[in-house]
Structure 1
Amino acid sequence: MFTNTKLAKSVKLACLFGAASTAGIATNVAAQAEEGANTVEKIQVVGSRIKRQELTSVTPVVEVTDFEFDISGNLNIEQKLNELPSTLPAFGPSSNNPGDGTATVNLRGLGTARTLVLVNGRRWVPSRQDGVIDLNTIPASLIEKVDIITGGASAVYGSDALGGVVNFDLVDDFEGVEFSALYDITGDGDGEKFNFDITMGGNFADGKGNAVVYMGYSERKPVFQADRSFSDVALTESGGVLVPGGSSGVPGTRVFGGPTLPNGEVLGIFEPDGSGRAFQDPADRFNYAPDNFLQLPQTRHTVQAFAHYYLADEARLYGEMTFVRNEVPQELAPTPAFLSSLEVNPDSPFFGAGVQTALDGERTDTNGDGIVDGDDNAFLGFIGRRMVENGSRQSVDTRDAFRVLIGVDGAINDYWNYDVYLSRSILSQSNTLNNDVSESRFRQAILVTDDGTACQNTAGGCAPLNIFGAGNISQDAIDFINVGATNLTTIEQNVFLASVAGELPFTLPGADEAIGLVLGFERRRDESNFRPDTFLSGGDVLGFNAGRATVGDYSSNEYFAELSIPILSGHDLAEELSLWGAFRSSDYSNIGAVTSYATALNYKPTEEIGVRVGYQRAVRAPNVSELFLGQSNGFPGATDPCSADGITTDTDTALCLATGVPAGQVGVFTQANSQIEGLFGGNPDLGEETSDTFTIGLVVEPLEGLDFTLDYFDIEIEDAISVLGGGVANVLDICYNVVKDVNSAFCQAITRRPDGNVDVVNVLNENIAKISTSGIDFNVNYSTEVGFGLFEDTSTMSVNFRSTFLDTFDVQPVADLPDVNECAGSFGNTCGIPRSKFQYNARVNWSTGPLTVSGLLRYLSEVDDDTIATAGVNRNDIVVPELAKAYYFDLSAAYLVTDDFKVNFGVRNLFEEDPTPVGDQQQQANTFPEVYDVLGRRFFLSGTYTF
């Protein structure tokens, strides 16, 4: 049997004096003793590369164990993380539109790009051009535990850690074979989930090495919005109530500001026979909800391998390899074709007689002969047509993630160890778009001959397109205008890290432990390339957001140090007093040199009570997407202040006229859609973000088995990278209600259509003023034996309570403007998804012999429509002023059938809590589906067999 006594001694000293390998939050260092397999366990590091107990960590910490995943039946990691009070739900299984097929985590609600995700303490495979990690690429079955460190941690871990760090500890040292499987289904009998995994591992070379191979397959079935009563109709607000609504792009073709018909009505919509009438709002709107996914389907294949081998007593060679393929389709309602200045032939037989008469008066000199007569065409100012004959739009994302890592660690002497590794990650993404419509072909096919049998321009095999009335489009026309697209993305990341960790050869007077020190160097290079299809890059699409290529890279060289100084220990009123500090100097190829630093004081007057105070200055460099994103279109929810529903006493009506609203229409016209088009894109001149995080906490362990922590946090991010003004809704508000200057950058960003509706708002990336948040975390853990049980005379009861009170979450879009969006306790187009003032989850476990029964209660406090806080709107004037508080209760159990076979089963959302329906301020599906449960009761059964 292989013996590594010097390395084992070094690890023991590291555990005693605080030095740990800088490979990350947790590093495996194993040594085999002569007698038996006496393994040195993992060095646990929380919030620092220097080992410390969780209850005296630098910043507030949450630990989620593998038991939590097993007992919850969570196939997808993000669902468990989204339950935590310190996170704000991000993209996940119900993120269809918006969504991109990824699953992400968002600490403190500060943004997924400001949350650094690590695996075994090291950077993982980026899955998007903003560097964000897709949690679908991390195998849930291999998770031993998850450490969540909230607050700025850039000094320790580098850029991206402004909101905090989420580290996944995976099994990487295993002997034997383990099979596991999971089946999950809703109470309605749909939305099934399957998972099957096999893990194999063993020692080799007389115990010098160990290798582990993991293979997994997961599948998730779709659920459509049509399958649930609260989401099968798109709701809108009208007459002070929620009513069926939807899009103004309709199967019969909506005409905005059309000509007057002979009967005196203004042409607003076409009947199937080509006749026209006025548009009835909202009765005529198109219900786009049924075609959208409420749960996205998914297929995932995973192969993972870990190995290590002791080259000598003081050197261990280790490696990791990962391959993950994720396929996640999205499905949206048929293409909404919104076009301005649409040229039509008034003599076309597609029009009824009354429409032909009305259009005859709209003719202009389109043939250039200087005479307006029957040989000329007419223009419709703006139309909206829902292309139901073309079928639902489909977007299929296939991501292949590959990562390989090789490193060596070991002991320099009895007091110091080292770690050096190199990793390379590559992600290839194929995005296939189906059932879109070419704008150029659409316009060509609309313009037909007088008899309607041919296009005026027959190039390319043009077939006449009759959009004037529902169900009138022929298959030949569909075949001509239908287009698809395939867009390719590649992302590469290379990381080299070298570090030493150990202890200095002296202690301070009054302290029992030596000073711990970490020194290291990290080099990272990120490169990304998005190559859109020709149709997409040229903007010749109507149903998907047009976009251009995004190509860029940057690199950084970083030196870091970390110091732990025990000052006092074992004294009266000073059981422990220690000072911790970290410093990182980074030189980025795109922004130059920046520094981040942190310090914390931990004080325990007695064994039972501790106080921790910390400050961290964190830095985040702009990523490839923020710097180089090719301009693309998006459609966020927003309210036009010049419309009938958006005008307030603050709105400058003269400015509305000056920016393109027709005379007499300010505060009168109806906004065409609740979503307004924005033009988004990168900015190579962006600077870095900086954040200041202050925490002060109390740790109390009054008796054995009981502890609680109370932590206050205050995080402020300056020069936050966002879009101009903080978004489309903010730009509209700032222009018309705040600055009221037609020459300001905000008003200049807005263009309007002839009917007064906003056409597009240009919101490219900028360093906006500030984002700040503060609140209190309160957590309790209690475990005790009780004098009864089913299989024995005693059993164990444990309680875990986690909660967060959110005091403030403020966004200041512009530095020299006093306006601040106060979003704590709010939701809507300005503040985004709900930010509950108070939320908690409480788990109670009862273990008796081989059986564990567990109950989880989650609570989200009520949230207000953000126009109440940000615009001063009276809550009595709002249709849905508040989303009600929500309680979710999960009940589950684990049973050890034999020493080798374990089963878990349970039900989630036992009492089938439904979300509060909301109208124009929704995210999707009449609610916020990643925050509130949308599928109802779910049942799951899983099993694990090991031999």
Structure 2
Amino acid sequence: MSTHSTRLRRAALLGSTATLVASFALGLGVTPVSAQDADESTEFEEVVVTGSRIMRRDLTAPSPVSTVGAEEFQLTGAQNVEQVLATLPQTIPGFGGSSNNPGNGTATVNLRGLGTQRTLVLVNGRRYLQSNQSGVVDLNTIPSTLIERVEVVTGGASAVYGSDALSGVVNFIMKDDFEGMEVGAQYDTTSHGDAEKYNIDMTMGGNFADGKGNATLYLGYVKRKPLFQGDRKFTTFALEDCDNDDPRNEFGVGEGLCAGGSSGVPEAHVFGSGVLSTIFAPDGSLIPWVNSGPNNTRFNYAPDNYLQLPQERWMASSTAHYQINDNVRAYTEAMFVHNRVPQELAPTPAFTTVEVNPDSPFFAPDAQAAFDAIRSDTNGDGVVDGDDNAVVFVGRRMVENGPRQSLDTRNGFRVLVGFDGEVAEGWNYDVSYSYARVDYTNLLNNDVAASRFIQAIAVTDDGTACQDPSGGCVPLNIWGAGNISQEAIDFVNVGAANVTSITTQNVQGFVSGSLGDWTGAGDVGLALGVEYRTDSSDNRNDEFLASGDVLGFNSGQNTAGSYDVYDIFGELALPLLSDVAGAESLEASLAARYSDYSTAGSVWSYAAGLTWAPIADISFRANYQRAVRAPNVNELFGGLSNGFPGATDPCAVTSEGVAPDASLKSLCEATGVGAGLFGVFGQANAQIEGLFGGNPDLQEETSDTWTFGAVFTPEALPGFTATIDYYKIDITDAIFVLGGGVNNVLDVCYNVVQDVNSPFCQAITRRADGNVDNVKVLNANIGALKTEGIDLQMNYSTDVEWGFFDGGSTLDFNFIGTHVMENSFIATNEGELAEDVVECGNTFGETCGEPDPEFRFNLRSTMTNGPMSLSLNWRWIGSSKVDAIINGDDPAGYSIPKLKSKSYFDLSGTYDVNETLQLYGGVRNLLNTKPQFLGTDQSQANTYPETYDAIGMRIFLGGKVRF
């Protein structure tokens, strides 16, 4: 596999609002909507199934739709919505409660592993609060207590709902017709008695105006306490791959793993050769640097990181509706959420170039002599003498400054007003307007100003003052652990902040009804509508972040921008046959949407489907959808920022003195290498500056989705239903950074395309000495994503005569599983790299991210007997391999080439004490199953903590009181 393939995927992951992750856990009591049938005598209520705006008398739809009922959130003890959605086979968990680094304080959902920005999240069929400038919804803002059900449609749904639905739609249907009062509380802890969670909420509502109206109010509070990686043995050390077991890993994390860490240490690490390969004792004397092995001197940063992020959330939500007359009903929704999620990392690793006074009393004689030997003409007088400093690159862990802290606070509110009703017999309308705003503040504490750090290290000969005393500089003695004074810490310590405001307004209206029976097979359904939406946001960095004067952060400009879109859409449900030989029913469906974006211009999305039931026991469905995703504010208008990734310049002499291939000479010179420099100059730094940012010329992403499936409802086996569906999603013109990143652009320009006029070569700027000055890798429509697989769902319900209470019991079995056949990406730019495929199905690792096993399933078994129900959930996650192995690397080069399959068992139950009081509780990860631990290929905490349980067994207890 070529280098540019690997770098593309990683850049794509880091560049999106959430990592493209892959994990799985199942068993949500998920029911296949389209599998539901009923006896002919049953009275149907017309309903709208997610994925369509046409009201139907049954729940049959051409696209696979899965539902998660409200009871599932209670059975799992889920206080946050993502705890349940992450276990759906169609989804891959995004950020969650263990996403400390990476993480941004949000919880997200990622259908099919195609990216959170390609999953459209709706509430009651409408757009909701955005959590960031990429338009992603934070699931923390949706109260699980108010959820009536969740409907999930996988595959494109842009023709019905507009942009962003490339991988599908997650639609939360909320309770809006509540009578009485319900107060609930829950406590959740681990078998260690730590990492507690608790919540309390109240829902009250009632009818008014003789039943013409209803109003419902919800208030909720959630508290999640922190857990550090140092609180568990298996996450106490930052593990890395090695040849032998580390004696410190006596708790058994696996062979081939050693306790590693960072080269930025509290003793100060000077890099290079001779003196430039050492650390320092507290007296300023030299200590050898030990890079590896059980006695290595690396800094173990793991204990300072959160394994469970703390969280505090206040939420209020209300709904109301009133029937004005027979044809007009007014309705409204309003909500407010205050969500605080801190993150914490080990103290700042200060990696930078500094000037050091060799005569400083901070050094012992051996260090003074070593630094004196490498003085250079730092004062510019043309002479190297005692007035000059030594220039070195240092890595110092600023433990005296305390751990780095980040506090993400999101205050959001949303109001919606609308009217619906009957416009004529058989025809209904719905008109609504919504306004949503999120104010997001990210506060950083205990960081270090780069300029002050550099200034304070260059001290006078007696060490009592800075060589540059401006700004109240205090000498900084970094040479040895614990040597920094509080006054010096106060001088270099800085807090930083960035503030983001996001506003969304949405107006939509549509009518739906029947055009009559054209074919004798049933009424033709039609829905027509219009929609207008505007998104605007503004991000402001403070002076430290904007200038890049915070160690560990690169400079970045503010991001501000907006766009709007006008839509016209329509759907048609056309029955073709009914109750004839070979066709109990046959129906076609069509949908189309025309969108005019102020940025991407005019685009079309459309869909066509067919459902056919040859007999009552079985039906088949097929669907094709063309979906689009217009670029978001961050992708379009992201402020220019710089970064310094590792990269190799093909035009430079290697560190071993090997000159580049002479065939590159003309191309290197055409891209800025001066005459006489080719084959002479060496690459100055292992890192090359990249310029990242938005691109207002971006166009829409496009996806083609095919689904084929069957629904089984055998009369011979009452209570049994099953669905099997094949899906295939191809996304083209996917938005990534140009070329996938700095190194990839250099590689493709000089080794693949070799055309000075290509966008890759045009992105490179060089200095007068021949070295690359920077590579401009703005967002571009360059990628393609593909995924393919099969979903299987089975449900069976039966009554038995036995149980704990009189009256017999009901047994319910719900199985849902996924087989991933392909999950790949292709780097494309005008077809130049179209054959360079990277496979991410059945893999994990640096390139592809979280595990995406080939097989995964969930089986929930529930017994309901009188006032009690007991439920056992079996979540199975299949095995997966290191992505580089799947794509051609030798497995022998990896300590942990494969993750084994894992099973998790959850036991829960409810008991209705009386009509007023219900108690419930359960145990998650009943067997306290630990993850298989990783070194180099981990995400964080020596594993993938949003996929595998790294915290251990959890016990939860709760109750509800109804009035």
The normalised TM-score by structure 1 is: 0.89
* Aligned residue number for residue 285 of structure 2: 275
**In 2: Cα distance, 1:574 partner to 1:555 partner:** 45
Determine if contact 2:46/2:57 at 8 Å carries over to the other structure.
Answer: no
1:868 correspondence with 2:871: no
1:842 correspondence with 2:852: no
Determine if contact 1:499/1:518 at 8 Å carries over to the other structure.
Answer: yes
The offset of 1:252, in angstroms, is 1.5
From the superposition, tell whether residues 750 and 66 of structure 1 become closer, same or farther in structure 2 (CA, over 3 Å): farther
1:859 correspondence with 2:876: yes
1:231 correspondence with 2:247: no
The offset of 1:334, in angstroms, is 0.6
Determine if contact 1:94/1:295 at 8 Å carries over to the other structure.
Answer: yes
Structure 1 letter corresponding to 2:214 = N
1:699 correspondence with 2:698: no
Structure 2 letter corresponding to 1:43 = V
- Greater displacement, 382-391 / 48-57: 48-57
The offset of 1:352, in angstroms, is 2.5
**In 1: Cα distance, 2:44 partner to 2:207 partner:** 16
* Aligned residue number for residue 413 of structure 2: 402
Determine if contact 1:267/1:277 at 8 Å carries over to the other structure.
Answer: no
Q: Which of 173, 176, 180 matches 1:176?
A: 180
The SS at the match of 1:596 is: strand
From the superposition, tell whether residues 797 and 679 of structure 1 become closer, same or farther in structure 2 (CA, over 3 Å): farther
**In 2: Cα distance, 1:330 partner to 1:751 partner:** 37
Output one character per residue of 1:574-613: Cα deviation in whole Å (capped at 9) or x when no partner.
1000000100000000011000000100000011110101
* Aligned residue number for residue 244 of structure 1: 259
From the superposition, tell whether residues 272 and 665 of structure 1 become closer, same or farther in structure 2 (CA, over 3 Å): farther
* Aligned residue number for residue 66 of structure 1: 70
The SS at the match of 1:412 is: strand
The offset of 1:639, in angstroms, is 10
Output one character per residue of 1:508-544: Cα deviation in whole Å (capped at 9) or x when no partner.
3341x21110000000000000111111111100144
1:99 correspondence with 2:115: no
**In 2: Cα distance, 1:740 partner to 1:828 partner:** 30
The offset of 1:276, in angstroms, is 2.5
The SS at the match of 1:530 is: strand
**In 1: Cα distance, 2:611 partner to 2:828 partner:** 38
The offset of 1:635, in angstroms, is 9.2
**In 1: Cα distance, 2:747 partner to 2:232 partner:** 35
* Aligned residue number for residue 284 of structure 1: 297
* Aligned residue number for residue 459 of structure 1: 470
The SS at the match of 1:358 is: helix
Output one character per residue of 1:444-498: Cα deviation in whole Å (capped at 9) or x when no partner.
1011001111001111111001112222111111000000012211000000001
The SS at the match of 1:605 is: strand
The offset of 1:135, in angstroms, is 0.4
The offset of 1:132, in angstroms, is 0.4
Q: Which of 762, 780, 796 matches 2:810?
A: 796
Matches within 5 A, 1:720-799: 720-726=734-740, 763-799=777-813
1:300 correspondence with 2:304: no
**In 2: Cα distance, 1:562 partner to 1:338 partner:** 58
Output one character per residue of 1:776-822: Cα deviation in whole Å (capped at 9) or x when no partner.
00110111111212212421111110111000011112341121110
The offset of 1:719, in angstroms, is 0.4
Determine if contact 1:652/1:740 at 8 Å carries over to the other structure.
Answer: no
Which structure exhibits the higher relative contact order, with contacts defined as CA atoms closer than 8 Å and separated by 6 or more residues?
2
1:881 correspondence with 2:908: no
The offset of 1:355, in angstroms, is 2.5
* Aligned residue number for residue 8 of structure 1: none
Q: Which of 486, 504, 512 matches 1:501?
A: 512
Structure 2 letter corresponding to 1:279 = W
The offset of 1:343, in angstroms, is 1.5
Matches within 5 A, 1:507-656: 507-511=517-521, 513-544=522-553, 546-632=555-641
**In 2: Cα distance, 1:655 partner to 1:860 partner:** 50
* Aligned residue number for residue 12 of structure 1: none
Determine if contact 2:46/2:55 at 8 Å carries over to the other structure.
Answer: no
The offset of 1:429, in angstroms, is 1.1
1:473 correspondence with 2:484: yes
**In 1: Cα distance, 2:750 partner to 2:91 partner:** 34
Output one character per residue of 1:226-271: Cα deviation in whole Å (capped at 9) or x when no partner.
111121111112336211111111112222224x34xxxx533223
* Aligned residue number for residue 829 of structure 1: 846
Determine if contact 2:784/2:827 at 8 Å carries over to the other structure.
Answer: yes
- Greater displacement, 53-62 / 615-624: 53-62
Structure 2 letter corresponding to 1:708 = A
The offset of 1:833, in angstroms, is 1.1
The offset of 1:737, in angstroms, is 8.4
**In 2: Cα distance, 1:736 partner to 1:161 partner:** 37
* Aligned residue number for residue 374 of structure 2: 362
The offset of 1:725, in angstroms, is 3.3
1:313 correspondence with 2:333: no
From the superposition, tell whether residues 496 and 913 of structure 1 become closer, same or farther in structure 2 (CA, over 3 Å): same
The SS at the match of 2:408 is: strand
Structure 1: which 5+ runs fail to align?
1-25, 27-38
Output one character per residue of 1:75-126: Cα deviation in whole Å (capped at 9) or x when no partner.
1110110011111110000000000000000000000000000001111011
The offset of 1:369, in angstroms, is 2.4
The offset of 1:664, in angstroms, is 14
- Greater displacement, 41-50 / 624-633: 41-50
The offset of 1:614, in angstroms, is 0.4
Matches within 5 A, 1:284-433: 284-340=297-353, 342-380=354-392, 382-433=393-444
Determine if contact 1:576/1:603 at 8 Å carries over to the other structure.
Answer: yes
Structure 2 letter corresponding to 1:75 = Q
**In 2: Cα distance, 1:915 partner to 1:664 partner:** 48
Structure 2 letter corresponding to 1:509 = T
The offset of 1:45, in angstroms, is 1.2
* Aligned residue number for residue 12 of structure 2: none
* Aligned residue number for residue 453 of structure 2: 442
Alignment: residue pair count = 886
The offset of 1:681, in angstroms, is 2.4
The offset of 1:942, in angstroms, is 1.3
* Aligned residue number for residue 117 of structure 1: 121
* Aligned residue number for residue 711 of structure 1: 725
The SS at the match of 1:56 is: coil
**In 1: Cα distance, 2:772 partner to 2:267 partner:** 23
Structure 2: which 5+ runs fail to align?
1-32, 34-42, 245-255
Output one character per residue of 1:849-889: Cα deviation in whole Å (capped at 9) or x when no partner.
1111101111111111111122x211122111011111111
Determine if contact 1:679/1:763 at 8 Å carries over to the other structure.
Answer: yes
Structure 2 letter corresponding to 1:682 = G
Output one character per residue of 1:121-174: Cα deviation in whole Å (capped at 9) or x when no partner.
111011111010000000000001000000000000100000100000111111
Determine if contact 1:500/1:520 at 8 Å carries over to the other structure.
Answer: yes
* Aligned residue number for residue 134 of structure 2: 130
Determine if contact 1:145/1:168 at 8 Å carries over to the other structure.
Answer: yes
Structure 2 letter corresponding to 1:193 = K
- Root-mean-square deviation (CA, aligned residues, Å) is 3.2
**In 1: Cα distance, 2:225 partner to 2:608 partner:** 48
**In 1: Cα distance, 2:618 partner to 2:72 partner:** 28
- Greater displacement, 722-731 / 605-614: 722-731
**In 1: Cα distance, 2:185 partner to 2:847 partner:** 42
* Aligned residue number for residue 821 of structure 2: 807
1:890 correspondence with 2:909: no
1:78 correspondence with 2:87: no
**In 1: Cα distance, 2:647 partner to 2:849 partner:** 13
Determine if contact 1:729/1:830 at 8 Å carries over to the other structure.
Answer: no
The SS at the match of 1:97 is: coil
1:159 correspondence with 2:163: yes
Matches within 5 A, 1:661-676: none
